[in-house]
């Protein structure tokens, strides 16, 4: 597998707090990479560095480099909007806009200049199909997105992210607010999506990481403790701390 995202000696500070310490790793394309670790270990921070959402938090400073497809995303010549278009994100809480289902999915394409009704219809349908939501909502696309159930809302958010044709999909504990059945649906969806997208997911749920991901990264206190094939990491952890964590001794 080839590396799509290359992180080199990344250090990140919130004010004086050293949130990420000297992180280097390569994330392969068209696979699912899971970040696990106890809360506050930096896994979400790293995820949010990948589409520069951390820029929105005042006092954040980033050192080192993150390259996506060879381009340093913290470089001077980077168009942040285009980066975020290429690196989609799904959040912990489903966060559809208070608009119709259709307008939610069409939001991104419209931002990027697509106005043709016909084209938008196509994108909405293919994105909703991609997020396995089309059959449930195709008859009432004009309904408010807030009328959907939590799991449906989250799949709508995935569809919304897919609508701008990203290469990478970041999922920040995307199932933690959902019930088990909805969670399962999202996990299945992720399995399908990895054929086309590079997926990086943060999860507080080790079992989920074990079920879904190809690679797993274990974080502790802002450092990467262990990075391995998922199967290997869970069956034969190299580091004592990893073993403690996955056997439930802390976190």
- Tokens (6 digits) for 192: 């399908």
- Whose Cβ is closer to other proteins: residue 9's or residue 188's? 9
Pairing state between β 215-220 and 223-229: antiparallel
Q: Where are the alpha helices (DSSP H) in 98-239?
A: 101-111, 117-130, 134-137, 150-162, 180-193, 206-212, 230-235
Least distance to other proteins from the beta carbon of 89, Å?
Answer: 4
> Residue 54 to residues 26, 80, 177, 197: CA-CA distances in angstroms?
20, 12, 22, 22
Residue written as token pair 């290469």: 167
Least distance to other proteins from the beta carbon of 163, Å?
Answer: 8
Least distance to other proteins from the beta carbon of 151, Å?
Answer: 16
Tally of CB atoms within 10 A around 50: 21
Least distance to other proteins from the beta carbon of 29, Å?
Answer: 6
Smallest CA-to-CA distance from 83 within 111, 52, 48 is with 52
- Whose Cβ is closer to other proteins: residue 190's or residue 218's? 218
- Whose Cβ is closer to other proteins: residue 156's or residue 210's? 156
Interface residues with other proteins (CB under 8 A) are: 1-4, 6, 24-29, 51, 53, 56, 58, 67-71, 73, 77-79, 81-86, 88-89, 91, 93, 95-99, 107-108, 110-113, 143-144, 146-147, 157, 160-161, 164-165, 167, 215, 224, 226-228
Least distance to other proteins from the beta carbon of 204, Å?
Answer: 18
Integer Cα distance of 237 and 57 in angstroms? 35
- Whose Cβ is closer to other proteins: residue 107's or residue 184's? 107
- Whose Cβ is closer to other proteins: residue 147's or residue 247's? 147
- Whose Cβ is closer to other proteins: residue 82's or residue 247's? 82
Residue 52's region, left for phi above 0, alpha for psi from -120 to 50, else beta, is left
Q: Please, what's the b/e burial string for 13-46 (b: 16 or more CB within 10 A of its CB; e: otherwise)?
A: eeeeeebbeebebbbebbbbbbbbbeeebbbbbb
- Whose Cβ is closer to other proteins: residue 93's or residue 184's? 93
Least distance to other proteins from the beta carbon of 63, Å?
Answer: 18
Integer Cα distance of 237 and 227 in angstroms? 10
Least distance to other proteins from the beta carbon of 136, Å?
Answer: 16
């Amino acid at each position: 597998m080839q590396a799509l995202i290359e992180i080199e000696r990344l250090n990140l500070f919130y004010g004086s707090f050293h949130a990420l310490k000297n992180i280097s790793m390569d994330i392969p394309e068209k696979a699912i990479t899971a970040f696990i670790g106890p809360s506050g270990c930096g896994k979400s921070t790293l995820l949010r560095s990948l589409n520069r959402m951390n820029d929105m938090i005042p006092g954040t400073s980033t050192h080192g480099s993150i390259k996506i497809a060879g381009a340093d995303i913290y470089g001077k010549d980077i168009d942040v909007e285009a980066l975020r278009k290429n690196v989609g994100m799904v959040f912990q809480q489903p966060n559809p806009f208070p608009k119709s289902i259709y307008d939610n999915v069409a939001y991104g394409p419209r931002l990027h200049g697509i106005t043709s009704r016909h084209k938008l219809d196509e994108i909405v349908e293919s994105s909703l199909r991609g997020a396995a939501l089309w059959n449930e909502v195709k008859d009432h696309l004009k309904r408010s997105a807030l009328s959907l159930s939590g799991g449906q809302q989250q799949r709508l958010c995935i569809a919304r992210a897919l609508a701008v044709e990203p290469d990478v999909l970041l999922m920040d504990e995307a199932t933690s607010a959902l019930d088990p059945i909805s969670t399962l649906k999202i996990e299945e969806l992720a399995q399908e999506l990895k054929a086309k997208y590079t997926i990086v997911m943060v999860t507080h749920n080790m079992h989920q990481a074990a079920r879904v991901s190809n690679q797993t990264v274990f974080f502790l206190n802002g450092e990467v403790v262990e990075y391995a094939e998922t199967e290997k990491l869970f069956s034969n952890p190299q580091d004592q701390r990893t073993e403690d964590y996955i056997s439930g001794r802390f976190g």
